[in-house]
Structure 1
């Protein structure tokens, strides 16, 4: 019977589970076995206006310490620590990990930020054992780490790194044994110069890269079954895709992205069905596209008109449009409605123009 109660209890959000524990001793016993820990301002009931910024870190720390102290050493399924007022002198994060990161943990989310701008040095040694083998979802933000070759994420299916101090080689040590990886998102990981996605990641389907700096130069993808790719950055990067790669959805946003696709048509785009291209500056005339998007159904062209040269010939986009004979939807942002109509040339296609753009 107790096992049934524990299972039902595990389905509750953490704050509801904590409230239920106040009702009876039976619920309290179940609370001590609660496997899903989410520590953030909301679940811990911390109000910034009532305690002020100076007391937030101490209040947060005291509550987490109290919860983990009264919790027996049982398996944790999910651990989430999201705190925007992180203070290394007050927060006992290392001890929290020691208590909560146990073999069998499946999801780990750590998002920290502080006024000092210092990154929390994530203790990868805790995952260099059975705990790492069970991780399915890993989400880290504003952390620094030096992963070792001992790491093995054989169950990892989703990886999200945001503003993490990590190099391309260090990321490679994470991906080395991550054979089950299906989704990966990298945001503002500005130490990566060359991003390499190896061939053994045969389960990888989704890759999103957001480059907030100017360090990333090259993206090399060998994962054979990647079907959804997105890159957003402030500068052009060199893209290299393995032979036989066939994208279904492809998003590219950087200065000159449209010219890049038209001039250097990638064989990986022959089967693309959903294509989005964004740019804040282009050549005066978009190069003529000689290949065809025979499977393309949805095309989104986003031009940041405020930065575009007034001499740019929007009609040069006709080549891109004519290369898509089976197009069903055309969305053109940053382009005047009259220019969209000229490019559309009377074809029976649903199209939109940015409402902020003058006619």
Structure 2
């Protein structure tokens, strides 16, 4: 029986070999061109290029590859100079992705980059990424040698670009701009771009824009007043804006890094997540409690994150004219400036809780550079009237060094949240801008801070609600 099975298997093998010999075997190049192009689109760039060495008939097959990515990772040296090769690419089918990521070395590179941009537009690329940012992005002298992006290439309506990302270029926007080539643009990202002219003129031609990011851009007109009805995501970081007035009914996520400015987000009823980083050494609590909710951020539903400065010598509570009625999660990253003997400056943060009646989770990440290692015991202040927060379940306080203001705020929260599950106290500073200590200094400091927190918090009537990390 055993020998019979082996014999049968050998017969099957011979039969398969005979069939292959009869039909000539499988030939990939005999597949229809559309299927071959689909196979090549699933390969990486280098793998697709290497197929040209398989045979003479394959030498031109890889040119239908739809994703051209030229970065340090994919291309160490060299450049494309074969005009016939470029013409073959253009005549085949639209590109999906055209990505160039290299530091701009000098002005002599401009004519090469002009060719790349013209090629990507002529190839009807859906995604165009031109990132020429220098390795040292803090070097301000490099800003004078920016590449001038040829925006006129996209004046015609033949382009299919849906995603455009530019880095370290200058962009000149004429007042009589007729940009029909951006009618399909859904994503626009500008990083370290010098914009000459009115950005609003450019945005007015992007009727289907859904994603917009402006980071470290130099704007000639430092205000944005625009209708973008399909916009879902907006990020503006370090652009020195003076005013932001936006009408975007579909906006769901908003990020801003700027000094305090007037903000109006009209009709943003679907706003879910917002991140605000205020660049200022002055006390920002009044701005946060008045300007932000009045400007449209009262629509934020899921998470609001705010980076700001609070000064301990500031007294009184900001009078709020709006509320965050739907907010569930509030994150405050606070740079506490001033003497730690003044507690009223930090205790004023309790006013933000009164503005969020549905708040369920609160994170207070604090950095107190002037806090002493040991704090004196004394009578703690409390607010005369306590607003009850029925929905608040979890509070986390990091950078807790038992200063007077922190202790007063912690007890104020414990008194006003009857349904609080736990207050998590973490002596470790968690904000990104705090200086880094070596391991031994950090360990000694944490030991002292934990001991102080135990003496002041875990001996109170609320100790069963407190978790000390």
**What is the TM-score when the length of structure 2 is the normalising length?**
0.65
Q: What is aligned with 2:385? A: none
Q: Please, which of 269, 291, 304 is the counterpart of residue 335 of structure 2?
A: 304
**What is the aligned residue count?**
336
5 Å-filtered alignment, 1:237-248, equals: 237-242=261-266, 247-248=271-272
Q: What is aligned with 1:56? A: none
1:7 aligns with 2:75: no
1:97 aligns with 2:117: yes
Within 2, Cα distance between the matches of 1:89 and 1:351? Answer: 60
Within 1, Cα distance between the matches of 2:307 and 2:187? Answer: 26
Q: What is aligned with 1:250? A: 274
Q: Please, which of 290, 297, 300 is the counterpart of residue 269 of structure 1?
A: 297
Give unmatched runs, 5+ long, in structure 1.
47-58
Name the larger-Rg structure.
2
**Deviates most, 244-253 or 157-166:** 244-253
**Deviates most, 95-104 or 32-41:** 95-104
Q: What is aligned with 1:315? A: 347
Shift of 1:40: 0.8
Distance 1:43 1:350, change over 3 A: farther
Give unmatched runs, 5+ long, in structure 2.
1-31, 135-140, 368-398, 431-448, 454-469
Distance 1:26 1:320, change over 3 A: farther
Distance 1:136 1:40, change over 3 A: same
Shift of 1:253: 1.3
SS at match of 1:64: coil
5 Å-filtered alignment, 1:139-150, equals: 139-148=165-174, 149-150=177-178
Deviations 1:249-273 (A, max 9, x none): 2221113443212133326233312
Shift of 1:198: 1.8
SS at match of 2:40: helix
Distance 1:344 1:9, change over 3 A: farther
Higher relative contact order (CA 8 A, sep 6+): 1
Q: Please, which of 148, 151, 154 is the counterpart of residue 179 of structure 2?
A: 151
Distance 1:198 1:34, change over 3 A: same
Q: What is aligned with 1:226? A: 251
Q: Please, which of 11, 16, 19 is the counterpart of residue 50 of structure 2?
A: 19
**What is the TM-score when the length of structure 1 is the normalising length?**
0.83
Shift of 1:218: 1.0
5 Å-filtered alignment, 1:60-209, equals: 62-65=78-81, 70-71=85-86, 72=88, 73-74=90-91, 75-90=94-109, 92-102=112-122, 104-113=124-133, 116-117=142-143, 118-132=145-159, 134-148=160-174, 149-152=177-180, 153-167=182-196, 169-199=197-227, 201-209=228-236
1:344 aligns with 2:363: no
Q: Is the 8 A contact 2:262 2:295 kept in 1?
A: no
Shift of 1:354: 6.6
Shift of 1:295: 1.4
SS at match of 2:38: helix
**Deviates most, 222-231 or 3-12:** 222-231
